Amino acid sequence: MAEMGFERSWYSFVLLASLVLATAELATAQTSPNRTVVEEVTGWLRIYSDGTVERLTPPGAEAFTAIVPPYKNPRGGVTVHDITTDRGIDVRLYLPAAAAAKAPHRRRRPVLLHLHGGGFCVTRPSWAIYHNFYAPLAAELDVAGIVSVYLPLAPEHRLPAAIDAGHAALLWFRDVARSRNVYGAAHSALVRHFRRTADFSRVFLIGDSSGGNLVHLVAARAGEDKPGVLHPVRLAGGVLLHPGFAREQKSRSELENPPSMFLAPEMIEKLLALGLPMGVNRDSPYTSPELATKAVAHVRMPPLLLMAAEKDLLHDPQVDYGKAMEHAGKKVTTVVSRGDVAHVFYLNFFAVKTDQLTANRTKELVHTIKCFIDQH
Ligand SMILES: *[C@@H]1O[C@H](CO)[C@@H](O)[C@H](O)[C@H]1NC(C)=O
Ligand SMILES: *[C@@H]1O[C@H](CO)[C@@H](O)[C@H](O)[C@H]1NC(C)=O
């Protein structure tokens, strides 16, 4: 156990050291005399006085932000494809090779719609950090595929842009389900195959961190659609993995839990401030557990699986969200990963490989997701 704890602290140390380095570099990064940094989220994002936004990789985190190009020959039983839809969004499709082989003889399978994290401001579905979790997940689950949306990023595209994009992906599913001829020629064979194997009456939303908030927000948007708008697409469930719920007043877990590889207090404050609509703060239906719940009081929501982690800075508001939703009569199953595991620990593929506790908790998390999907 002591050794395992060391592995985790070591990665945290690398990240913290990187953040210090990134700050030191900042002073020399300005080339134009008139261009100054007006906002900075250490290691991740810089905004300049001329309005340009620069997205960075904290030194030491390169392995996580490395782009994994799509591939057509199965690796670990999965192929990966980037598709431009005619709904104004690009998506990454993880396709289990098994589904291809057995498709004609087997029942149709559910579809996962993935909404990535990054505080609404950073990260891409093509990054290794997502690929290394979601590609194996596509093979592990009995699904037709996992579709991950290239979400518009703030501050250029503040909320509700990402909610619109998530909803656009549902409309794309609807188009694919309803018609044979709505997608671009470049991917038509692929999409036709997806169409044949997918059960669009069993679409599950899944999201990490701020993507977890989007699971709630996109489900709410779909719940407000006029009846039949999405038909035959139906939301069968939502999986919120360590969602980014937070209030203006810091919760106890924010004050007491240590910062981790993927979440520091500065990121909660600054990324959410840049991601929320202008003039809106964390005490809003986008991030407050209570106000998010209140906003869907009269909206039909699918059953939800809420996963939290004991050492996540946002553990308390996450659990509060589950309680508030349940109190409001919504179906929510809350599962907390116990022990020294923090925000989106399952995405840290180094720790999953080297740390027994992280490996165990990740296996349990995947099992919990699998059971939830099989049951809905
Ligand atoms: C910098 O600002 C000054 C004064 O506004 C202006 O005259 C000059 O052209 C600017 N230089 C650049 C490189 O934009
Ligand atoms: C991880 O799971 C294995 C197998 O169930 C168990 O033997 C081991 O004690 C667990 N380790 C930790 C750190 O949880």
Q: pLDDT 10s per residue in the chain (376 long)?
A: 333 333 444 444 444 444 444 444 444 454 567 889 999 998 899 999 999 999 999 988 999 999 999 999 999 999 999 999 989 999 999 999 875 555 555 689 999 999 999 999 999 999 999 999 999 999 999 999 999 999 999 999 999 999 999 999 999 999 999 986 655 556 788 898 899 999 999 999 999 999 999 999 999 999 999 999 999 999 999 999 999 999 999 999 999 999 987 999 999 999 999 999 999 999 999 999 999 999 999 999 999 999 999 999 999 999 999 999 999 999 999 999 999 999 999 999 999 999 999 999 999 999 999 999 999 9
Sheet containing 235-241: give its strands across.
Answer: 71-75, 78-84, 90-96, 145-149, 109-115, 198-208, 235-241, 304-309, 332-337
Q: What is the pLDDT of residue 10?
A: 41
Pocket residues: Cβ below 6 A from ligand 2: 4, 356-357, 360
Any ligand 1 atom below 6 A from CB of 31: no
Domain boundaries, the chain: 2-63, 67-375
Ligand 1 nearest-atom number relative to CA 34: 1
Ligand 2 nearest-atom number relative to CA 339: 14
67-375 belongs to CATH 3.40.50.1820 = yes
Ligand closest to the CA atom of residue 8: 2
- Nearest-CA residue for ligand 1 atom 12 is 34
Q: Which residues pair with 112 in a beta bridge?
A: 146, 204
Residue 147 Cα distances to 44, 89, 130, 253, angstroms: 25, 12, 12, 32
